[in-house]
Structure 1
Amino acid sequence: MGLGNVTKTEKCLLGAAAVFLCLVTGLYVHDTASLGQRGAVAVETERQVSEDALGPVWEPVDINTADADTLDTLPGIGPALAARIIAYREENGPFESGEELMEVKGIGEATYEGLAEWITVERKDTE
């Protein structure tokens, strides 16, 4: 089941909502009677959530194989930079490292630092 055209902001909000729900379902309300309040009720909740309910496990984006739509999901990368990354890759071959992204026009050190943890570089040896 795909998410369709979901913006980066919507994805962030969905992630934040998922984290919030996980925290709320794991909270314990301690017995307030121990604090001297008569008639207080203790409520304890714990709920197991299946991995399917949480959604897919996040994996970094391989900049050597990602298409433009996938690259566009990376922080600081829009459609124009995604197209430049693909063009660079087609002209120069696969990226040797993530740092090589800084060779692409429009990706400087700050942009690279913002997306370094979101990417990976897989190389297939051609021997």
Structure 2
Amino acid sequence: MLNNIHKKIVSVLSWTLLAAGVLALFKRIFHGTAVCGKAKKTDVQGEDEGIFDVDKKVNINSADVHELATLPYVSLPVAQNIVNYRELNGSFSQKDELLNVKGIGPKLLGLIEEYICVE
């Protein structure tokens, strides 16, 4: 009897996880492409949680220090370096130019690439 209940619980949990995965996939497919714009305080929930709204990309050519700091893995000093570099050298024409900014290497660029845009 316990074995049958265990099997049913596992089956229900498996189907629930599968349905959640399918719904997430459909949302990603049919929701459209991410929009390049400004991050808002509502895009990050909590001060330390670091939950970022991936449907809104941060434009590295127009974002200020605080908006850039909302990006996952980007600290305030690195965000300030991005703004300083942009002020000295002009707008970024592609994401890879961030490699010229102090504090950003290939690994960090790979981590934040999906959250940024250049327009």
Q: Normalising by structure 2, what TM-score?
A: 0.58
Q: Secondary structure at the match of 1:83?
A: helix
Deviation of the 1:7 alpha carbon: 1.9
Give the unaligned 5+ runs of structure 2.
1-40
| Identical counterparts, % of pairs | 37
Deviation of the 1:5 alpha carbon: 8.6
2:100: which partner in 1?
A: 103
Q: Secondary structure at the match of 2:96?
A: helix
CA RMSD of aligned residues (A): 2.4
1:68: which partner in 2?
A: 65
2:110: which partner in 1?
A: 113
Question: Alpha-carbon deviations, 1:4-48, whole Å to 9, x = none?
Answer: 993251x52xx7xxxxxxxxxxxxxxxxxxxxxxxxxxxxxxxxx
Are 1:84 and 2:100 an aligned pair?
A: no
Query: Which structure has the larger Rg?
Result: 1
Task: Name the amino acid aligned to 2:63.
Answer: A
Are 1:7 and 2:47 an aligned pair?
A: yes
Q: Normalising by structure 1, what TM-score?
A: 0.55
Aligned residue pairs total: 78
Structure 1's consecutive aligned runs of 4 or more residues displaced over 3 angstroms after TM superposition are 2-6
Higher relative contact order (CA 8 A, sep 6+): 2
Higher helix proportion: 2
